[in-house]
Structure 1
Amino acid sequence: MSRADRERQMLDMAEEVFAERGYRAASMEEIAERCGVSKPMLYEYFGSKDGLLTAAIDRSKAELYEATRAAMDRATTPQDVVWRGMLAYFEFMDAHSRSFAMLLQEPLVATPATGEAIEQTRRQQSGLIAPIIAALAPEMPRPAVEAYTEIIIGACERLAVWRLRHPEVTAHDAARYMTDFTWNAMRHHLQAPVSGPAPAPDVPGSEGSPDDLTGPPHRRS
């Protein structure tokens, strides 16, 4: 197995164990055993348990960026950018739900380096969201753009954690809730009137985007 493949395997197993046990209870011994490698090899690659967790966060950060950026690049309107970005975010969270829940619910159990890695992920997503808000509302003061960006990021995180207790709420549903929330919050700032997100196609996981929002996200047409 190449070094890159071995590292990928270690990170996959680490994410799995961290999700199952939580950071404190997870052990390098168990992760090494699941990988079929020695514990010294795990330390050789990552230095420590915290280094392993930080590497796992960094990998997820890069994957999240690529997923949301690629989705947004396919959009044709600002409204479509928001919709596709939200949908990609929640679909990514579904794929990593247990590990991300652990990170969001146990932010103080690891070292400051791990906390900084999580915060970098938030800043990365801020870099995607803030320009969209600024483009939609060019007259909005910069502090307001930053404030709305932080509110949206926080709301997305809490909604992702809440969905763990409500598996019936799909990524498609969550994206609709957040899109509706975003438009309603910013309605009076928008340069051109936007009547709020219209219902997306009634297909779970659909990438369809409404041109116009006309009602609450749970409404179907």
Structure 2
Amino acid sequence: MSGATPRTRRRMSRADRKRQLLDIAEQVFAERGFRAVSMDEIAERCGVSKPLLYEHFGSKDGLVLAAIDRVKAELYEATSAAMAGASDPRDMVWRGMLAYFEFMDAHSRSFAMLLQEPMVVPGGTGEVLEQTRRQQSGLIAPLLAALAPDVPPVAVEAYTEIIIGACERLALWRLSHPEVGARDAAQYMTDFTWNGLRNHVGAAFPPPAPGPGVPRSDGSPDD
């Protein structure tokens, strides 16, 4: 009789398993659309039983809402971390926009489904999507207020909504224009934001000499 001990497979932790399920579910929803996908199909793609999916998420609605909620948190983390490393206000705008569009590249089909099929996905999805916008508003509005301190709060709020809407539309437009990269989109939005505030900013924040990768005033990236 051999004294060898059978090798045991390390069980995946609940958190790791949930992360794996959300990764695959997000991909399946993006590929096929929320309505067309069944829990059976997702379970098969995940390599787990359907009861396990229900144990983690309760329903298909719960699964898609969990996937969207996770993306919301990751988007906020990516954009806020990028802006925190900025050297000046224009660099902050540039870094935030670049992080946003790079993140959208990684989740483009998921966001397209949310923005283009609002009547198909679960009702709570619209609330999570709006929470995502409010998170981005919480990053953008204080920056605009600092750039243009004489602008009334209601105008700052309005400009913030304009920028958020423009970012979403540009992200969707890029789906049919793959030649427009994330850096291109970030440059367009940085120019749009900065030029739109030019009359309010005045001499308080003259366009600085850009750092590495930040567009110059003529639109060309700095090397």
- State the identity as a percent: 73
Whole-angstrom CA distance in 2 between matches of 1:20 and 1:181: 32
Match of 1:63 in 2: 74
Whole-angstrom distance in 2 between the partners of 1:28 and 1:49: 6
* 2:91 match: 80
Residue 100 of structure 1: how far off its partner (Å):
1.2
Aligned length: 211
The 5-angstrom pairing of residues 30-41 of structure 1 reads: 30-41=41-52
1:86-131 CA distances to partner (integer Å, 9 max, x unpaired)?
0000000111111111111112212321110111011011000000
Q: Following the alignment from structure 1 to structure 2, what is the Cα–Cα distance between the partners of residues 44 and 113?
A: 20
Moved beyond 2 Å, runs of 4+: 191-198, 207-210
Cα distance in 2 between the residues matched to 1:150 and 1:192: 25
Aligned to 1:174: 185
Residues 1-29 of structure 1: CA deviation (Å, up to 9, x unaligned): 11011101110111011101111112111
- Which TM-score applies when normalising by structure 1? 0.89
1:93 aligns with 2:104: yes
- Provide the TM-score with structure 2 as the length reference: 0.89
In the other structure, the counterpart of 1:43 is 54
- Give 1:204's aligned residue: none
Kept after mapping to 1: 8 A contact 2:213/2:221: no
8 Å CA contact 2:214–2:221 kept in 1: the answer is no
Match of 1:125 in 2: 136
- Residue segments in structure 2 that go unaligned for 5+ positions in a row: 1-11
Spell out the pairing of 1:104-119 with structure 2 (5 A cutoff). 104-119=115-130
- Deviation of 1:179 after TM superposition, in Å, equals 0.3
Choose which of 38, 42, 46 in structure 2 pairs with 1:27. 38
Output the CA distance in 2 between the equivalents of 1:39 and 1:58. Answer: 21
| Contact 1:138/1:191 (8 A) holds in 2 | no
Cα deviation, residue 152, structure 1: 0.5
The equivalent of 2:3 in structure 1 is none
Give a deviation string over 1:129-158, Cα, whole Å, max 9, x none.
000000000111111111111110110011
User: Aligned-pair distance for 1:78?
Assistant: 0.6
Q: Is the 8 A contact 1:72 1:81 kept in 2?
A: yes
Shift of 1:195: 6.3
Residues 197 and 101 of structure 1: CA distance in aligned 2, closer, same or farther (over 3 Å): farther
Hey, what does 2:214 align to over in structure 1?
209
The letter of the residue matching 1:57 is I
Structure 1, unmatched stretches of 5+, are: 202-206
Q: How far apart, in 2, do the equivalents of 1:40 and 1:139 lie?
A: 57
Query: What is the Cα deviation at residue 208 of structure 1?
Result: 2.3
1:139 is the counterpart of 2:150:
yes
Which residue of the partner structure matches residue 2 of structure 1? 13
Q: Any conservation in 2 of the 1:180–1:196 contact (CA below 8 Å)?
A: no
Q: Which has the larger radius of gyration?
A: 2
| Superposed displacement of residue 220, structure 1 | 6.0
Summarize deviations over 1:42-86 as a string: whole Å, max 9, x none: 111111111111111111111111111111111010111000000
